[in-house]
Structure 1
Amino acid sequence: MKDVDRRALGLSAVLATVAGFVDAIGFLDSGGLFVSFMSGNSTHAAVDLGAAGGAVALTSATLIGSFVLGVTAGGLVGVRARRAPPWIVAGSAAAVALSALLALTGGVELPRLALLAAGMGSLNTLFPAEGRARVPVTYTTGTLVTLGLAVSALLTGGSRTAWMRPLLLWSALIGGAVVGGVVHRIGSASALSLAALALAGAAAVLARRRTSRVRPPHRAG
């Protein structure tokens, strides 16, 4: 995370806020499952199977599979597209928008939750490094480990600022979840529409930045 520049860190914080927002909507709609936190869903599935259940385990497995498919799709876009980040974020926006449409029309709950999980999964491919996510955008376990290690370094004479970045990302996701929990009161479709618009805006900003970078300088005649 320390080798991510300030612009990328700012983008990560914005997307983490949206991810927290969307995760809160998914959590409330599903009755306690997650669309970005797959460790929690894995535990839910295991406990449900151990209790001779099955319904929660099936839902959790669907969300986990959808999340992995989203990561896979984002990874493929990253390999094949010249300007991958805007397309990845735009794809996430489309998935959230489609989920909002299904919520508006009274569609089956599981498919729209699966769309959210896929959309959130894809965001974690924006900062790849050696086959892993350099910045975990939509989940906090790795971020909190990084924060703890940074605090231990601070206490032993190491970097005085390394803890700030993981704390920023964690705070962004938690803040987004708080807002998501409140906005959920206006309805899932409306709340998810706001999240889709935020992601679309982020994609547009990314596309504009990359276009300005490759545009040749103007020369006076």
Structure 2
Amino acid sequence: MRAVSRRGVVLSLALSAVAGYVDAVGFIETGGLFVSFMSGNSTQAGVEIWTDPGRALLPLALVVAFVIGVAAGGVAVGHHARRRSLVVAASAIAVAACAAVGFAFPHSAWRFALLACAMGALNTLYLADGRARIAITYATGTLVSLGLALADLVTGRSATVWRRPLLLWASLAAGAVAGAAAHRWLGDGALLGAAGVLAALAVAISVVSRR
């Protein structure tokens, strides 16, 4: 995250907030599964295999959809930073499609595979040496970076590097709070707000990349 520009950090904070928002809606609607946190889904699937194998299918499907989203985003972005807007725009479409399916089939939990795919793709916006430099949609990698940055603070290697991972985690957490609140009032309609924000970010990325 240290190598990312200030503009990139601002964008990642906005996307992380959207990811937390979407994850909160998905968590509520699926009864405890995640659309961006695949470690939790993997654990849930492992538990369900021994208690109710049929219930392991959805968390496994979300993991597969997330990986497909990462792969698709990686192909789209590659070494072309200007394609980031396409990935964000496609994610906006996927989130909106999930909301639309929810209106038509409110009890279909499988639609959340669209959200998992979208969240996976967002993690490909900042790639270096085949790895994501910023964990936009999940907090574990960010918290590891925060812990290491605090170690740098204690040992005197850096007094400021802890700020970025802390802000990224805070954005995700704040987005989750907002998502839970929006779902309480709007249900699946809350996802349309997230789709709108992603669409706006896609336009902003496109405009900036052309300058």
TM range (shorter): over 0.9
Q: Deviations over 1:175-205 (max 9, x none)?
A: 0000101110123331000000000000000
Q: Deviations over 1:98-146 (max 9, x none)?
A: 0010111125523320000000000000001111111000001010000
Larger radius of gyration: 1
Contact 1:13 1:168 in 2 (8 A): yes
Show structure 1 runs of 4+ deviating over 6 A.
none
Q: TM-score scaled to structure 1, two decimals?
A: 0.92
Q: Distance in 1 between matches of 2:77 and 2:8?
A: 16
Is there any run of 5+ residues in structure 1 with no aligned partner, and where? Answer: 214-221
Residue in 1 aligned with 2:130?
131
SS of the residue corresponding to residue 83 of structure 1 reads helix
Residue in 1 aligned with 2:78?
79
Contact 1:44 1:56 in 2 (8 A): no
Contact 1:17 1:177 in 2 (8 A): yes
Residue in 1 aligned with 2:93?
94
1:70 has 2:31 as partner = no
Q: Distance in 2 between matches of 1:80 and 1:72?
A: 14
Supply the AA of the counterpart residue of 1:171. A
The sequence identity of aligned pairs, in percent, is 49
Q: Distance in 1 between matches of 2:164 and 2:82?
A: 25
Q: Distance in 2 between matches of 1:90 and 1:129?
A: 22
Residue in 2 aligned with 1:188?
187
Residue in 1 aligned with 2:25?
25
SS of the residue corresponding to residue 2 of structure 2 reads coil
Aligned-residue CA RMSD in angstroms? 1.3
